[in-house]
Amino acid sequence: MKKYDYDLFVIGAGSGGVRAARIASGFGARVAIVEDRYLGGTCVNVGCVPKKLLFYASHFSEDFENAKGFGWTVDSPLFYWQSLIKNKNKEIGRLNDVYRKLLDNAGVELINGRGTLVDANTVAVDSKHYSAERILIATGGWPSIPDIPGKEHVISSNEVFFLETLPEKIIIVGGGYIAVEFAGILNGLGVDTTLLYRGPLFLRGFDQDVREFMAEEMRKKGIQLKFETNIDYIEKIDKQLRATLNDKSTLLAGQIMYATGRKPNTEELGIESLGITLDKNTAIVVNHQYQTNIPSIYALGDVTNRVNLTPVALAEGMSLAKFLFNNEDPLVEYENIPTCVFSQPNIGTVGLTEETAKEKYKQINVYKSSFTPMKHTLSGDDEKTFMKLIVDKETDRVVGVHMVGPEAGEIIQGISIAMKAGARKTDFDKTIGIHPTTAEEFVTMRDPVN
């Protein structure tokens, strides 16, 4: 007779939780997963997927304008926000069904409701208790908005996907990739957009050249950037919101969106009562096998606040399932993880920034290139593309690659494979470029700038 109802009970049906549940079940484990909001987590519902769809929509305004240089005439194109959101919701609903079928086909029991920890081997959902040999917490993160007067008037990156109408003006507060992405999206959809950030320059943690180049490109597109600026309080005046800034000046807007970071979703799970260790940011502390200080309880993904990217959560879910139920211990490699900011233009990056490389290596060579893409020689658009290679001089290894420009993510994905394989600068030099493409610039940069 089985001691527990399940071998694995997963709290949270986002990317990491679903992957762990499916793979574990495939190894023969009895698995259940509980979710109280939506299948697919942040990425599918209020993150990567709908954001990319809105990004595509926002770029058509530039495409229509750029088409003139190629002989096309597009008379007075009209945009309907409601149509975009309706179509977006339909696609997200389809993906929710896909996740449901994936779980069902894998033999995972899906339980609808709020899961809370009772003890080291028990989860309560409403009034019913379920026992499990192991419990996995994969509840992700949630937008964090500072507690300022007038906070009740603002929206987060969750609510922006469901606005009934677009405002004429919006203030976006934040300096991370979400703030930068939505500034580009909303500006592209015709909204008068102002981005405020409390620091001297946004995208902290990215390469300094990339940050400076991106700020210049955004300003060229008409986005108003205000650095070293924050909101003290917000007031609602008729149908407008008035933000009083830290320099006592004011801004009026139809909407104010905060993208000031996300916090691990660890509240109201029973974590504190069990004594699960949290760090100073309320993230769950785990070892290299995603195990908490309570041996039967594990956690992965954004709730651990390490590398908060969907593909990382997927890799962690796969790794954990193999470790627990297939006698494998495939460690996830957290170095050289590529990432893309779907800003306008895109940012793609993998490896070290120049600043970090200087700290790690005795000497580095830096290669840079900034140019007008071939498309814009006829479009008339003054958008530039920027590329950068960072090389450890002693070994000739490429340790950092950065790009700002169209399809940067698509290009950097391929380069990240080469970096994982240990590519040297001489390997880049010996590679024949595809002409004429933007990407060929990465294999034609010959002279370091330092």
* CB under 8 A, 24+ apart: contacts of 41-45: 41/12, 41/13, 41/14, 41/15, 41/16, 41/17, 41/140, 42/14, 42/140, 42/141, 42/302, 43/14, 43/15, 43/310, 44/14, 44/15, 44/92, 44/95, 44/96, 44/99, 45/92, 45/96
Digit-by-digit pLDDT tens for the chain (450 residues) are 579 999 999 999 999 999 999 999 999 999 999 999 999 999 999 999 999 999 999 999 999 999 999 999 988 899 999 999 999 999 999 999 999 999 999 999 999 999 999 999 999 999 899 999 999 999 999 999 999 999 999 999 999 999 999 999 999 999 999 999 999 999 999 999 999 999 999 999 999 999 999 999 999 999 999 999 999 999 999 999 999 999 999 999 999 999 999 999 999 999 999 999 999 999 999 999 999 999 999 999 999 999 999 999 999 999 999 999 999 988 999 999 999 999 999 999 999 999 999 999 999 999 999 999 999 999 999 999 999 999 999 999 999 999 999 999 999 999 999 999 999 999 999 999 999 999 999 999 999 998
Please pick, among 59, 129, 153, 435, the residue that the annotation labels catalytic: 435
Instruction: For the chain, give every residue range classified as CATH 3.30.390.30.
Output: 339-443
Task: State how far the Cα of 301 lies from the Cα of 304, in Å rounded to an integer.
Answer: 6
Topology of domain 151-260, CATH: FAD/NAD(P)-binding domain (3.50.50)
Q: What is the pLDDT of residue 365?
A: 98
339-443 belongs to which CATH class? alpha beta
Q: Pick from 347, 355, 361, 33: which is nearest to 215 by CA? A: 347
* CB under 8 A, 24+ apart: contacts of 2-5: 2/30, 3/131, 3/133, 4/121, 4/131, 4/132, 4/133, 5/30, 5/32, 5/130, 5/131, 5/132
Q: What is the pLDDT of residue 1?
A: 57
Q: What is the pLDDT of residue 2?
A: 78
Question: Cis bond leading into 143, ω under 30°?
Answer: no
Considering Cα of 271, then 272, then 274, then 277, what sign does the dihedral take?
positive
> Is 435 an annotated catalytic residue?
yes
The answer to whether 132 touches 8, Cβ cutoff 8 Å, is yes
0.85 exceeded by pTM: yes
Domain 6-142+263-325 has CATH 3.50.50.60: yes
Instruction: For the chain, give every residue range classified as CATH 3.50.50.60.
Output: 6-142+263-325, 151-260
> Cβ contacts of residue 205 below 8 Å, gap of 6+?
353
